[in-house]
Every structure is written in C-alpha cells, then in structure tokens.
Amino acid sequence: MKKKLLLFAIFALSVQIPAHCAISVDRTMSEEYLRNNGYSKQIYDTVNVGRARALGEEYYSSEEIKFKSSKAPVRWWKRFHAYLDPAKDDYSFYHHDTATEPSFSDL
C-alpha cells in the first residue's frame, strides 16, 4: 500500500511540473519577455508588426511615429539620407504593398 501511495504521489507531482513551465504565446511576444531574454527593441517591433499584419491592423514603431511627426524639411533630409545610404531605414520595409511586377522603388 505504501508503494502504491508513493508511486501515486510521484506521479501527481510529475504531472504538475510541465503545467507550471508552460508559457503562453502572448507572453512570449511581450516586450518584457523579449527584453529579459536578451532581444533588442527592434525584434520587439518586428514581432508586433507581424502580429498586427496577421490581425489586419496597422502598427507603427515609436521611431516611425517620431519620424512622421517631425517637420517637412527634417523628413525630406532623412529620406534623402536614406536614399544615399542603403543601410539607413526609411520605414518603408513593413508598410508596402507586395506587387508581382518590379517598380522603381525596388531598386
């Protein structure tokens, strides 16, 4: 009887261990979780853009909002600088329509 009770107790404890280790998908996509696991803010923005696209919503990062709220000469200068330097982000990567035919903006 003691062996059966001991085996039942071990089984009951081992069943509960995986339940406490489970992490929901929403939690793995949160900024706090990504930051604590060593990911950058850019990865957090990328995850949120992917989530927003899946839900059919628009998402703008804090840098994009700051860029859009800047004055026209500043925006023009930043776009011109992004045109000259291909490594500079011009905030058009996530917000474009996918076309099957090439255009001048693909260059």
The domain total for the chain is 2
Residue 76 within any structural domain of the chain: yes
Provide the domain limits for residue 33.
22-59
Q: Are 1 and 8 in contact (CB under 8 A)?
A: no
pLDDT for res 8? 86
Residue 90: CB partners within 8 Å, gap ≥ 6?
A: 78, 79, 82, 83
Backbone angles phi, psi at 2, to 5 degrees: -65, -35
> For the residues 16-39, what does the mean pLDDT come to?
78
Residue-wise pLDDT for 39-98, tens only, equals 988 888 888 888 888 888 888 877 888 888 889 999 899 888 888 887 877 777 666 666
> What is this structure's pTM?
0.53
Together in a domain, 54 and 34: yes
Together in a domain, 67 and 49: no
Together in a domain, 55 and 26: yes
Together in a domain, 26 and 48: yes
Judged by phi (left if over 0) then psi (alpha if -120 to 50, else beta), residue 58 lies in beta
Together in a domain, 52 and 67: no
Backbone angles phi, psi at 62, to 5 degrees: -65, -35
